Amino acid sequence: MPNPDEKGVKEDFSLPRSSRIRQNRDYRRIYRSGKRFSNRAGLFYLVKARGKDVRIGFVCTKKIGHAFARNRAKRLMKEVYRLHRHELSPHREGILLAGSFLTTCSYQEAEKAILALWRKAGIME
């Protein structure tokens, strides 16, 4: 990570819409042609992309619980991505499909499981 004092560069920890998968056609393309990885955090579909940055979409199915549980799982996934997206390899797009583990775990457990999933997929630098 560059030091802000060296070049005047500051890390941006926001989560802009451009860093997420949002369109249905992108989800379908990644599901169809992506390579699949899994662990207790859920499933991760990954494809190479033309874009400069990494983009990830977040999905929770009704199988893992009621709306509050699904929303909590999505919030955990987005927070881990927001804080660690600068460590991920560029030119990749993925979909993170939540597992039921994310509805009951703490943030630290979720972070550990999601980072392990990204390492397994080979996108952590």
Q: Does 81 map to a domain?
A: yes
pLDDT greater at residue 97 or residue 11: 97
Q: Does 79 map to a domain?
A: yes
Q: Does 21 map to a domain?
A: no
pLDDT at res. 9: 54
Helix and strand numbers (H, E) in the chain are 4, 4
What gap in Å lies between CA 41 and CA 25, rounded to an integer? Answer: 25
What gap in Å lies between CA 113 and CA 14, rounded to an integer? Answer: 22
Q: Does 85 map to a domain?
A: yes
pTM assigned to the model: 0.88
Encode pLDDT of 69-96 as tens digits.
999 999 999 999 999 999 999 999 999 9
The CATH number given to whatever domain includes residue 113 is 3.30.230.10
Encode pLDDT of 18-69 as tens digits.
999 999 999 999 999 999 999 999 999 999 998 888 999 999 999 999 999 9
Whole-number Cα distances in Å, 93 to 45, 61, 89, 101, 120? 8, 20, 10, 23, 15
pLDDT at res. 32: 97
Confidence of residue 6 (pLDDT cuts 50, 70, 90): low
What gap in Å lies between CA 64 and CA 52, rounded to an integer? Answer: 33
Q: Does 15 map to a domain?
A: no
Q: Where in the sequence is the domain holding 84, given as residue range(s)?
A: 41-125
Q: Does 119 map to a domain?
A: yes
Count structural domains, the chain.
1
Q: Does 34 map to a domain?
A: no
